[in-house]
A = this chain, B = another copy of it.
Amino acid sequence: MPVIVDKAIYRDGSRHGCGDLSDELASLRERGDAGSFIWIGLKDPTDEEFALVNSELHLHPLAVEDAVNGHQRAKMEEYERSLFVVLKTLRYVEATSDVETGEVMLFIGDRFVVTVRHGDGNPLQGVRHRLELESGKLAHGPLAVLHSVMDSVVDNYLVVDREIRRDLEQIEEQVFGSAAGGDANTIYRLKREVLEFRRASQPLAETLHIYLERGSGRHLQDDARVFFRDVADHLRLVNDHVDNYDHLLTDMLSAHLAAVSVRQNNDMRRISAWVAIAAVPTMIAGVYGMNFEYMPELSASVHVGSGEFRYGYFVVLLAMGGICVGLYRAFRRSGWL
């Protein structure tokens, strides 16, 4: 059964090998030692592989269905004899600024924990290792495993949160920096990832709240309960941030689109202003190019001696140049150029 990643019995917080599942479970139940339990770790089990494990543990069929199907919402569902927990894990891919969602499921029974992991990047191995070094915590039994996994998943949310904030600040700089860059595409994509983040963290906060206030978490002893409340508290922090990112990205999208539109309109205005300036000498030249044989304002120079001839021509050229310069200055003053 290569689908079983790890399997061990924990007694008073220390690890022991685990033989046949049903025999071990029976002997654990017989002894009635509250802190002892079997911890089985699975990875991407198929229907049949899961059935093998389940034949010994008698998990609830609805929980099994969810565990095999995957793609569940984060939740803590209490069945008669076990607690079924779905956690969405997040992973940030630096190269594409993508948030990827994985899944960890836990079946918490009286004398066993089954952790099921879908996809890569789930840090369950690290959790088991750290817990084995904290025998005091392990001695609290299966719920200690649940807390450690949750804590690790939520701590990881904080890491992804930090990465998202970094991306957001980078976009902010692009949008509001001197270059006035950025593009709607990037902003939309980050928003999408933020939504993906929220889809993982918000349902968990809800379900944990319900577990602690109305579910069996209500009956936890205060010293254990406070650990789950710590996780809930960090989730609230993360959810606050994620909400803020969403709002800021919406505002940024507006501001960015505004900046782009303003810049493009400015360009249009500048181009049009130049065209307007060019239109004036074109028009004047058109008038003097009308080929009338006698033009009063030019006649003095055209038909008389060549000394005055020069003067008339320059008057027209100067008039053109002067009007252009005047227009240029007027446009500059109104900020069009």
Q: Which residues of A contact B (CB under 8 A)?
A: 60, 62, 65-66, 72-73, 75, 77, 79-80, 176, 184-185, 187-189, 191-192, 195, 199, 203, 222-223, 226-227, 229-230, 233, 236-237, 240, 244, 247-248, 250-255, 257-262, 264-269, 271-276, 278-283, 285-296, 298, 302, 306, 309-310, 313, 316-317, 320, 334, 336
A66 to chain B, nearest CB (A): 8
Are B276 and A271 in contact, with the CB atoms below 8 A?
yes
A146 to chain B, nearest CB (A): 16
Q: Which of B188, B269, B286, B290 is A252 in contact with, Cβ under 8 Å?
A: B188
**What residues of chain B lie closer than 8 Å to A260, measured between beta carbons?**
258, 262
A249 to chain B: closest residue by CB: B251
A150 to chain B, nearest CB (A): 13
A330 CA to B78 CA, complexed, in Å: 67
CB pairs A–B below 8 angstroms (9 shown): A75-B233, A176-B189, A188-B255, A253-B255, A261-B265, A262-B264, A272-B275, A285-B287, A293-B309
A280 to chain B: closest residue by CB: B278
Apart from A73-B236, A203-B236, A295-B313, 4 more pairs, CB < 8 Å = A62-B226, A176-B185, A268-B269, A286-B286
Given contacts A73-B240, A281-B286, A313-B294, contact A276 B276 (CB under 8 A): no
- Interface of A, helix, strand, loop or mixed by DSSP: helix
A90 to chain B, nearest CB (A): 16
A176 to chain B, nearest CB (A): 5
